[in-house]
Structure 1
Amino acid sequence: MLNLDHLKSDQKHFTAVGLNMAVDWMYGTPIEFSTNHLTDALAASFVLEMYDMVCAIEEAVLNVQCYPEAMVILLYHIDNFTPETKQQLLMEKITKAAPRNIGAASSASLPLTSSPR
């Protein structure tokens, strides 16, 4: 039996959902997830030290930051990003007061494909 409790103590947001996404990523399966699972994906990729996955998630996040609704969700998850991405997200929010486009990103999903190894 494999015990992964130590990973949960290292990363409080580590979940089975995030682990499944990380395993799919490792095997080259393109993954897509809703913003509801953003924290799960980032927590798993950080605790498993899969920094290529962290970079891909953050790149996908930065691509949807132009939607006001997406920014609200992303700012909610701000503690889970690297310092560089935090700065970009916050600067984008501060410098742009985009007009509201209700519903544009309410069901935002983040498509990711793993890089070939």
Structure 2
Amino acid sequence: MSDLKDFLEVKKCPIQYVLAVNDTLNVISGKWKMPIIASLLYGKNRFKDLQENIEKITPRMLSKELKELELNGVVVRKVYDSTPVKIEYRLTESGKRIYSVMDAMVEWGLEHRKNVVDSIT
């Protein structure tokens, strides 16, 4: 946090901050990734559970987004050798640390919405 304070005082954005923000956005950008991550944070780990928990996501889109999250090291897919085949998705340690990002986004979003609504009324 002191790095951010130093950044704000100097008014010059270090290239590492820009790269870090770009990296973060590349991993979590899109309409569905954060809802998928949120669902996994709260224990939904089977494909069907995720699909039921996230309104309006198609199976094809859920599959695509899970693959991207897996490629980016946020989600791990585990296939059990059973009949029928059981597949579970879990957050990696890196994926679990997104909780603080999500929490900050929710806090900002609630405050922002309140400010916008207050300015309209």
Q: TM-score, normalised by structure 2?
A: 0.29
Higher RCO (C-alpha under 8 Å, 6+ residues apart): 1
Larger radius of gyration between Structure 1 and Structure 2: 2
Which of the two has greater helix per residue? 2
